[in-house]
Every structure is written in structure tokens, then in C-alpha cells.
Amino acid sequence: MVRVPRVESLNFDQEDGIVVYKKSPLSNEVICEFIEPTKESITKGIENLRQSVDNVEDLGIVKRAKILMHLADNLENSKEEFAQIVNKEIGKPIKLGLAEAEAAASFIRSLAGAAMFHAGEVIPSANRRKLVTYERRPYGLAVLIVSFNTPLPNYAWKLAPAWLAGNGIVLKPSEHTPLSARLFVDKCIESGMPRESLGLLFGGAEVGKHLVRQEFELLSFTGSLSVGLSIQEASTRVMRKTILELGGSNPIIVFSDANLDHAVENVVQSAFSNSGQRCASGSRLYVEQNIYADFLLKLKNRISQLKVGIELGDEIGTLVDQNALIVYKDFLNQCENSCKVWISDSSISHPNAHIAPPAIVEMKATDPLFGEELFVPILRVASFDTAEQVLEYANSSKYGLTAAVWTKRLTLIELFRRGLNAGVLNFNGPTHGAEFQFPFGGARNSGNGTKEVGIGSLDEYSFKQIVTIDFSN
């Protein structure tokens, strides 16, 4: 029997834990194993890490920024290794993995540089001899819980501002991405982060439940609404800063005056890149009635050209596991009797891979299934007659993460700018793909008003302390 590699946690005791085997969605073969620590070892690990948080603040922001600069270089130099690992872990195409590694490095580098110019401010006082400063201070220990779908950017978006603000770190990746998480943490230590103030905790839902009930000062979570609600409930029992970036069922609205060829390209990328496994995926499409048939034909033709599979040049990879494949099949089965279902005829020659061909489901915009989050490569489509009608349709979902509207008319742009409930609203663009300098976060059930990425993320991972010094006394 071939022994698979064991991926070790950092600063959490693994004795008496449960061994978990990680399978690749490319082949359904075990690629590594890790240990889920016990509740007792999680508690002990958190206590030890909390005692070392002062070491991070004592480094000072200049030193912390330099370490992040080194980390950005190390990530960029290792982007091929990261892309190969993420491909093996979750089936993400190599090209997409390389782009995400570069995006992570760019964000870290930019944030580290910008922080040197945004350390705080001086506030004027009526007393001319009083100095008043308003500056960032760390919370203490920051627990970062990350989803599987874009692991490296998510590690960067959370760890860089948390570390730069002076917090100690606990990274809990998805159970689907242990290899990339361990490599990322190794690069952090290699770049100069103290081992004693950096924790890495592997495990699934039970580990997450134990973790959020520990004593620490900041919690950042990216994932589903159901888990986010349970995390918010656990956080109400303690005074803790909580950052939540949750799911989405994001609308794309196409009017007849839009550049239709460009709209088709952006709909395809929004709906099917990363196999639909994006919180910002465009999974609801509304097309103006007078162009509906023609636009749908263009869309199907373009989707049919996508390369689906696990080969190097393929554009659409696998779903993360068998459960995701079940969600995909179950939804299509629910729709087949009452809706028009179209599935791309992409030839798939890998029977053990968790591949789901892109699919389109034509359904009524008022159908309750239209607004749910799927996280699979299924695009739901409906027509509309008026702008006011489609605005109501777009706002009918309980989510409010991103949205895209395609039109050249300024009156429509103003209508949707003021009326569409979304944390990120793009006109004549995709629902995803925000640049790293743009704040990202959702409205309604897609988040709690906090924003990640961008220079403003530093304000989420630190609190502002006001200090007054009265020289007149």
C-alpha cells in the first residue's frame, strides 16, 4: 500500500485526533491525509496563541510590512507550485490557479506599501496645545476561516490585513485545501512571521464549531449563509469583531441596447468560470423579451465552445467533490419536468472526475428555485418586459452580493444604481473579477456590512484608538 503524505497542523496538538483522507476531484484518489485535532487540543492551542499576540504588535508596522513584501515575492516565485496543488485539490484549471496566485501576491504587496501611508491621522482640537491622534490598534488573535473555491486569494485577503494590523493569526482552511494552506503558511514563516504567533488548523464542520466557541478577539469567515448565521450566533455570546462574507445568487440583466457579443462573453465567464463555484458567480440571467431567443442562441453556441475537463488547456474544471455533483444533478432533476433544460454536449472522457457540464435552465423568474444559491455550473434564465419588472426580479433573492447590468442608457443605469440591492454592482461587466484595490462585501444575507480587500480592509482588522496629549497641563 502506497503511503500518502500527511499534512501537519501548526501549533495545535494532533495526538488522539481523527485521521481524514483528502481525495482529488480529478481522479477520486486519496492525495494526502491530515488530523482533525480534538476539542481539548483546539482550546489549548488557542490559549497558547493568544499569549503570543504581543510578539506581532511589537514588531512594528514597518517590519510587518517588510515581511509581507517578502511573502508576496515568495508567492509569486511559487505560483506554478501553488497552481499545481490547487488543481490537484479542487480541480481548478492551471491557468486560473496561476492568475489567482498572481492576484494574491499583488494584493499583499500593494496593501503592505499603502499601509505605510495610512497608519492613522491627527485630529484638530479647540485646545491648540492638545495633540489628538486616531490610529489603528490590533484586536489580538484573529481567526480566519476560508472557503475552498479560491483558496490562495482568500488566504491573502484575510491574513495580510490581519497581520499588518498587528494581530496573531489562526488560519482554518477548508478541509478540501490542506496542501495549499500548508504551503501558504510555510511561505509565511519563510518570509519572517514568528511560528509561535501563527496557527494552522485543519478540519471540517465539527472543528469549526469548536473553534468559534473559543476565546479570541476577531473572527473572519467566508462561506455559506447557514454556517455564517451559526458563526454570528456564537459571536453574540462574546464581544468579538466578526467579519462575514457569505453566499450569493447574483443577477445579470441584459437590455436590448447592450453590446450583446460582449454581454455573452461576460455571462459565460460569470456563470461558469471556476465551475460556478464562486460566491460572486452570475447564476441568474434576465434578458429583455425582444432579444431573448437570439441572445439565448448566442449564449448556447458560446458555451458549446468551452473546453471542459481535466487536461492542461481545459477552461472548466471539476466540482470540488461528490456532494457538489449531487447538488448539480438533483437541481436539474427537479427542473426537468417544469422547465427547459439545456446541457452542454462537452465530451468528458474521465469517468472518475467530478465534472459537471455547463447547463442552462429556462424557468419563470418568480419560481422559488430561481433565487437560491447553487454553487455549481447551472445558469437560470428568464425574460422580462420592463426595467421596473426586472428590478423587482433581481431584488427578489435573499442575497445581495454582486450584480451586473448591461445597457448603454444612462436613465437605466441610474435606476439600477439606486435600486438594486448588491454590495458590488457592475455595469457592462461580469458579476465577479473585482480588482484587489476594490472593497468587496455584500448586502442583506450576503454579509454583515464588512468589507474585505482594498486599503479599507485594514480598518476591518483593527480598531481605532483615539489618544489625546494635553501639553497645556
Cell of 85: 496543488
pLDDT of residue 353: 92
d(CA 114, CA 81): 28
Task: For residues 228 and 371, give the distance between their C-alpha atoms in angstroms, rounded to a whole number.
Answer: 19
User: Residues 244-300: pLDDT tens digits?
Assistant: 999 999 999 999 999 999 999 999 999 999 999 999 999 999 999 999 999 999 999
Closest CA to 89 of 182, 177, 185, 204: 177
Beta-strand relationship, 424-427 and 402-406:
parallel
* Phi-psi label, residue 433: left if phi above 0, alpha if psi -120 to 50, beta otherwise: left
Task: List the chain domain ranges.
Answer: 6-246+447-468, 250-435
Tell me the pLDDT tens digit for each residue of 451-467: 999 888 999 999 999 99
What pLDDT shows up at residue 347? 64
Residues 425, 417: Cα–Cα separation, whole Å: 7
Q: pLDDT tens across 382-421, in order?
A: 999 999 999 999 999 999 999 999 999 999 999 999 999 9
**CB 36, CB 45: distance < 8 Å:** no
250-435 folds as Aldehyde Dehydrogenase; Chain A, domain 2 (3.40.309)
- Quick one: average pLDDT of 342-354? 81
Residue positions annotated with a catalytic role: 245, 279
Query: Tens digit of pLDDT for each residue in 196-207?
Result: 999 999 999 999
Give the pLDDT score at 207.
96
At 320, give phi and psi (nearest 5°).
-70, -30
Share of the chain above pLDDT 70, in %: 99
Beta bridge partners of 465: 135
Residue scoring higher pLDDT (79 or 336): 79
Confidence bin at 349 (pLDDT 50/70/90)? low
Q: Is the pLDDT of residue 2 over 80?
A: no
The Cα–Cα gap between 209 and 235 comes to 11
Res. 354: pLDDT tops 80: yes
Give kind and range of the element (H or E) at residue 404.
strand 402-406
Separation CA 156–CA 162 (nearest Å): 10
- Identify the architecture of domain 6-246+447-468 in CATH: 3-Layer(aba) Sandwich (3.40)
pLDDT value of residue 435: 84
DSSP 273-322: GGGG--TT-EEEEEEEGGGHHHHHHHHHHHHHT--BSSSTT-SB---SSH
Burial class (CB in 10 A: 0-12, 13-18, 19+), 355: buried
pLDDT level of residue 23 (50, 70, 90 thresholds): very high
Mean of pLDDT over the chain: 95
Pairwise CA distance, residues 174 & 82, whole Å = 16
Residue 221 has pLDDT above 80, yes or no: yes
- The mean per-residue pLDDT over the stretch 304-313 comes to 90
**Side chain identity, residue 417:** R
pLDDT at 177 over 70: yes
**pLDDT score recorded for residue 346:** 64
What gap in Å lies between CA 452 and CA 145, rounded to an integer? 13
Relative to beta strand 218-222, strand 141-145 is: parallel
Rounded-to-integer distance, Cα 238 and Cα 232, Å = 10
What is the per-residue pLDDT across 369-386, written as a single tens digit (0 to 9) for each? 999 999 999 999 999 999
